[in-house]
Amino acid sequence: MIVLHADHPKIRELLLRGNFGLEKESLRVDEEGFLSHTSHPFPNDDHIVRDFCENQTEINTPVAHSAAEAVAALVKYDHQIQRTIKRLPKREYLWPFSNPPYIRNEEDIPVARFYGEQADKTAYREYLSDRYGRYKMAFSGIHVNYSFDETLLREDFALSGEGDFTEYKNQLYVALAEKAAAYGWLLVAVTAASPLLDSSFVEKGKFDANTFNGLASTRCSELGYWNYFAPIFDYTNIRAYADSIQRYVDDGLLRFPTELYYPIRLKPRGVNKLSTLREQGVDHIELRMFDLNPLVPSGIEERDLVFAQLFLVWLAATPREPLSTKDQVQAVQNFKNAAHYDLKTVKIVPPNGEVCSVTDAALSVLERMSAFYRDFPEDVQEVLAFEREKFIDGDNRYAWKIRQAYDGGFVKKGLELAWQRQEEADV
């Protein structure tokens, strides 16, 4: 299986050249903290669309060539949304958390309406509503899309001895997806930022009683976005990978391939279809486990985005550890366990089979990454140290900070933050 030739001087110079694209979901809410029931106010903007429900905006940034550029684009569109919804006949706000505010009932979560040739999008959402319930669809997050720079891949291909560049590229990304399945729990642990729920999420009609269920990220936990089975992928090649997803559709476990709620996806350029993935190959990898971070205006800490890049590059240069069916089932559980609050008490099982706490496993991976990037500029080691501190002292984790700041009035305090963010954006 192909790995990046990370020790080759020419490759090492190019390792951190890549492309970023962010997808950020946010709920629109009214001044009382209930979900908005107005129509999507950006009908003709390709960069501001809807996700599951009519009141859930989704920012799709253009391709950026650095984490800083990607975050800047996110802020630009966020400010555009903030200014527009502030001036609606009834002022609205962007809810800054992954977990929703007050919910009266499922009708508070209106399915996004599409018409004409796009009417099937609404039909698909209605199906998801029936199968999984709308409450789960009210979670919001950030998806990080990353691709390696073409120059890097071309240079590495020349060293690989492979005969076909597209096949080389596909093999590199398929191996990366397998390794990300084994170690992606680390990204859940460092970005978890949703420890609090309003009581209305778990008990209809009961508002303003904070709920803490021992989780740092509800949407990444066993209560969040998962199918009713643990998917098993065939990582032999891109065609086998696509076929292993199609089998779940053929067997009736999924209605569409996009219904597969897994934290990692390989995606083609353009329309996201398995046929396109098979025929044209992989364009980028998508990481779907980032919570909205209310502690920063953009919703994502730039250092976490840099870390995601460092993590993917490290994995791409790391020898493959083939995952058995048992390993893949365990990998799903590892993702869920890493979404818990106290990571010193929760166990995972890495590919080596040694049961350990999430904290110990994370520190071990970060130590390996630090050694890998030993000769890189100091700012790289500073990012790794930033993530390491989250496991050395739990007070440095976002979930711990958020619980301390927003307990005893999650929605009311959240509205104050939403107002503040909107005022800061409208300058």
- The pLDDT score that the predictor gives to residue 225 is 86
Q: How confident is the model at residue 102 (pLDDT cuts 50, 70, 90)?
A: very high
Cα–Cα distance between 263 and 140 in angstroms, integer?
Answer: 14
Fold of 9-425: Creatine Kinase; Chain A, domain 2 (3.30.590)
Domain ranges within the chain, ordered by starting residue = 9-425
pLDDT in tens, 240-268: 999 999 999 999 999 999 999 999 999 99
- Tokens for 74, please give them: 């996110």
Q: How confident is the model at residue 151 (pLDDT cuts 50, 70, 90)?
A: very high
- The pLDDT score that the predictor gives to residue 422 is 97
DSSP state of 301: -
Whether the full predicted model's pTM is greater than 0.85, yes or no, is yes
| CB distance 290 to 144 below 8 Å | yes
Strands 141-148 and 197-198: unpaired
Region 340-356 average pLDDT: 93
pLDDT at position 1 over 90 = no
DSSP state of 269: S
- Tokens for 236, please give them: 């032999």
Give the Cβ contact number of residue 201 at 10 Å.
Answer: 20
- The pLDDT score that the predictor gives to residue 286 is 98
Cα–Cα distance between 12 and 397 in angstroms, integer?
Answer: 31
Q: How confident is the model at residue 426 (pLDDT cuts 50, 70, 90)?
A: confident
Region 343-365 average pLDDT: 94
Q: How confident is the model at residue 178 (pLDDT cuts 50, 70, 90)?
A: very high
Average pLDDT value for the chain: 96
Angle subtended by helix axes 358-372 and 378-392, to nearest 10: 170
pLDDT at position 427 over 80 = no
In the numeric block, the tokens 């319930």 are attached to 133
Written in H, E and C, the secondary structure of 359-409 is HHHHHHHHHHHHHHCCCCCHHHHHHHHHHHHHHHCHHHCHHHHHHHHHCCC
- The pLDDT score that the predictor gives to residue 360 is 96
Strands 56-60 and 356-357: unpaired
H or E stretch covering 356: strand 356-357
pLDDT at position 118 over 90 = no
pLDDT at position 350 over 80 = yes
pLDDT in tens, 200-240: 999 999 999 989 999 999 999 999 989 999 999 999 999 99
